Homo-oligomer: A and B are copies of this chain.
Amino acid sequence: MNVKTLCLGILMFGEATGYDIRKMTQEGQFGHFIDASIGAIYPALTALENDGLVSCREETQSGKPGRKIYTISEAGRRTFTASLMEEPRGDVIKSEFLLVMCCSELVSREHISNVMDNRLADYDKKIGFLQEVREHCTHPGSQFCIGAGLTMYKALRNYYSENRALVEDVAGRAQDFRLASESETQ
């Protein structure tokens, strides 16, 4: 799913600026399953406008840079709806965090504990965001997605806080818990 389609999808929920879209992929109701950087969003919106899939209205404010507010067009709606009919591909998850946890014996216990604390705090923040968004949301599809995010974050948060000892106890002890290659090949 490329950034253009993602922007179209977000614009289905209401007009927005590039900046708004960026924010929605960070903290909003899409934060937990859509990823798009600001440097990709602006060119995507320009391309979408050239293709006639969105229209743009410019709001010039005194002093501030003019906001470019994008609205999806009828053609844009059709294009987006058509893209929904394709079989969705498997979710992509990339977690540097789990890679660190996986190899906890290679780093210090302080580092592991610190990274873990940060992650737990992150999850609390995300859970708070989603709970707040859910209260102001009456759209069934969004409710479903917000619920999925909350389910995932809460389950992981709980798992991490209950099982962190597993990785913390072996941190810095590479000698005792050698990874497979070391015991096999040496």
Contact = CB atoms under 8 A, between A and B. Distances in A.
Interface in A27-49: 30, 32-35
Nearest to A95: B33
A84 B103 contact: yes
A89 B94 CA distance: 10
Contacts of A141: 101-105, 166-167, 170, 177
Interface in A158-175: 158-160, 163, 166-167, 169-170
Interface string A104-133: 111100010001001000100000000000
Q: Is the interface of A mostly helix, strand, loop or mixed?
A: helix
A144 B115 contact: no
Given A35-B92, A98-B33, A140 B169 contact: yes
Copies of this chain in its oligomeric complex: 2
Contacts of A139: 177, 179-180
Given A166-B140, A184-B14, A102 B145 contact: yes
Given A88-B96, A92-B92, 9 more contacts: A6-B99, A9-B102, A33-B93, A34-B99, A35-B93, A88-B100, A91-B98, A139-B180, A152-B152
12 contacts: A14-B181, A34-B94, A71-B185, A88-B115, A89-B96, A98-B145, A101-B144, A103-B141, A141-B170, A144-B163, A148-B159, A152-B155
